[in-house]
Structure 1
């Protein structure tokens, strides 16, 4: 009965999804209710008649979850009879990865499992037991999600059983906020560049992110600190306007760079006050708005190598050359 509950109730939020599946539930499965002399078949499609492409031995743990489909929605589960619930469990399939094979298995033979042993080599080629360095210790400033077929779970705590806060598709860029080993596995504290929930992801599926200038930025981003101290890498003039309808004028600026497109630009507005503009990986992400100026809305538009930025009524044009140098 526990397996039936797992197959239906653990995924109640999902109705029938696409054939590719939806990443949900635990990161890893364990094979259950398979006889000692039998195996769980891996098939090319979520169908008992689909071609068999592999088999998983009974009681195998550490089978990676790539997404499931079928079963009952929550409202349907609430109204269903025990027989209907069991029948629904038989219609649920999960896409998994095990032993170098990816395919579909019947969900009724799966239960929540544990991560593979720390000595296993994950998709990124880094032993799972290794703990990547934080930027303060010379580690990469950003991570790129890699080596996961569908999506990487962002969890509230460093555990495969913790609540999922978000899911990141391959290629998503995350800020490296430090990593640690928990129960033999490396987990990294991350947040998507530009904002979003903060949580933990398995380090197995991260690799140092290459910045737009082709470099891997390492060490902490101290550009805002340096800019606040007036320690600029370059100064000059950029087009800006402070009020509605005001024509663009040439305004003084100073820029402090941390490499990889991370920079803080401080522009002196026509009335002599200053506005700080913050960039990450060459993209505008925020400004130093405050309660005093009413927290104005900010926005940006990228046109070729020019960043057109608005902060309330203020307008700025910042070339990429200011951010990256050159």
Structure 2
């Protein structure tokens, strides 16, 4: 399929009723990002408005943005008859916004940065990776796995877990350079690193999703094509904290979040004060919630998920410990020494 700039393609899948633009899911199945400089990102927002909270930043080279409908822009008659200057003025008066889904996040982006494109970006297979999904036998909450790996092979064990549950993992291996990591949903940035923290961990899960327990050999052993026979023990216990239903606490459209806000953060070493975007899934009426915080470090997008129980932060998806102090109606939450977040009580618990 040929790529067409959205400014040309837009009138084809645009409806006009009584002179007003209506969102429609007609048009292409997918878009790619266009006209965004390398290293910059397309802002995805909660509503079709420049001032709306941001829910994601889409890379300049991104493809496979699923089309969920657009609104605004020019009618076909306007596009056909207006001069270039008039088109620019009309575009500024009635900008085109499109609702898209990208990497499981739904939001609104400016249509002028989209072009129709087929979604054909399947990643090449990783021949060294093996994937196994963990499903506990009915009536049990643990399992024991015995396997062998060799050289650069590694195994990803996928385990569905929910906020508030406790994940316990341990590894015994015939090779001293055989370790495991635990990665939170959607990232390879580990919340537990076995080569630094040992062969056993017990952590409270901060957010719902698929967690990855990755078993591997350290590089020196992998290069020498060594092997290891290992036993991995996994258990998932405890009652999860379910999210408040939308009927009792409205959700941001197209997201699992109950609210969004801009928080004050201090990041880095030494910490530097900046603003961070934050989102919350409230899991009760007592200050139990998952707070997700996002910020940028140069071109890198960072995310931190923190579980609050009865108003206190108890767990996160970082390898470093969580601590906090109270300051008025703020919980100053610290992750290790390089992440400090000022989180208001009202944001966690709701108004």
> TM-score per shorter chain, which class?
0.3 to 0.5
Q: Considering fraction of residues, name the structure with more strand.
A: 2
- TM (normalized to structure 2)? 0.30
Which structure has the greater CA radius of gyration? 1
* TM-score, normalising length: structure 1: 0.33
